[in-house]
Chain A
């Protein structure tokens, strides 16, 4: 069984053609866990940082939170993108989303067997 790191780049309510990418990533994560794989980190980069915004909550974000809590998977956002591109208050993220950056992602990627971009 493989150790995976997922990198999500689309917002939870992205416009077409990316409107289903977060859902696709969620289903992929579910399938990977059911298949016995381990997910070391889910990294939210680019527009995906909006998953952690208190003003952009959707049922799908609730699903991500539940998945994280059930399987103890860190949900890490790129706080540089969140602050610079979206002026998000990164000291008040939706829990359990946590601040991080490309260094944290790169370290997780280095330890993983496979990195999957969604």
Chain B
């Protein structure tokens, strides 16, 4: 069964840590959860946000996704463009989707948890 975690809050919200804990728990059981970053959730992966211990801790834990062979998180190209962010601004590889791909892939998700 495929699972997706959608993160929409920044590191100041308790939801960010709750969502990451859920993401890593699913990953640790080889469920290969798909992370989707949108809204303020995009800031969770920005290198420039790593100016507090809490964010640095989040970044280190996100690095574990690669160890679990999880797919790169989906991000919407329009959101990156609106902020002027490039893929190099993120702590690891992200999968940039255009509007059509985003719609298609989001519609394909059957089990999602939103934080």
Contact = CB atoms under 8 A, between A and B. Distances in A.
A106 B111 contact: no
A88 interface: no
Contacts of A112: 1
Nearest to A113: B1
B28 A109 contact: no
B80 to A, nearest CB: 26
Interface residues of B, number: 17
B18 A106 contact: no
A114 B22 contact: no
Given A45-B22, A112-B1, A113-B1, A106 B112 contact: no
Interface in A70-118: 80-81, 85, 101-103, 105-107, 109-110, 112-115, 117
Interface of A is mostly: helix
A73 to B, nearest CB: 19
Interface in B16-43: 18, 21-22, 25-26, 28-29, 31
Contacts of B14: 46, 85
Contacts of B1: 109-110, 112-113, 115
Interface of A: 7, 45-46, 80-81, 85, 101-103, 105-107, 109-110, 112-115, 117
